[in-house]
Amino acid sequence: MRLILLGSPGAGKGTQAKLITERFSIPQISTGDILRAAIQKGSTLGKEVKEIVESGRLVPDEIVTQLVQERIKEPDCRSGFLLDGYPRTIAQAEALEQFSAIDYVIDIDVSDREIIERLSGRRIHPQSGRIYHIKHQPPHEAGKDDVTGEPLIQRKDDTEETVRKRLAVYHEQTSPLRNYYQQNKAVRYIKLDGTKPVDELKKTIHELLTQHKEVI
């Protein structure tokens, strides 16, 4: 079972990816996690990636594709995998076809207005990674972590200005993937309403993939 999750930044791909991988025992290949690891290492490449991400631009295709191709070769991907955040462009999709087939593309669709509210309201406790939202999941005390009382921060790539830039880049470079995969008869493309409750989306996706497993 080889899957791709599509959707704009903040559409909820990461949440559904974890639910899918737990249910079907396949690894999640998140380019976001791979790139954050590179940033944390502080290597020359990591510093380059950090500057690109914080400015709201996309990391070059060749860097991301190399990381994904190496990851897919690992033993835990023999029974399948889930790609979260890759491919982002037609060029990446074409590169992916050279080293792996894909069974399903699941597109989680959310409006720009909803995405801006979701991301610009997000606050992080940097030491633990705990995530809050000033409207939907506020801390007990404004601006402070519930556990430690330490200050929360807004990531640079969560500011409204950067979110708008990220969405503009997404619509220019990544949205065309929808048409690309809709026209690709070797892949089953499914578009879902990302504003639905998490559990409802989970049920829809799991029913679809369970049918797939029964067929194969």
Residues labelled catalytic: 13, 88, 122, 155, 166
Backbone angles phi, psi at 58, to 5 degrees: -90, 145
**Alpha helix segments (H runs only) across 100-197:** 112-120, 160-169, 176-182
Distance, CA of 152 to CA of 137 (rounded, Å): 13
Q: Which of these, 146, 152, 161, lies nearest to 122 by C-alpha position?
A: 152
Alpha carbons 213 and 216: distance in angstroms, whole number: 5
Closest CA to 82 of 110, 67, 102, 109: 102
Q: Are the CB atoms for 119 and 165 separated by under 8 Å?
A: no
**How many Å is the Cα radius of gyration of the chain?**
18
Question: How far is residue 25's CA from residue 19's CA, in Å, rounded to a whole number?
Answer: 10
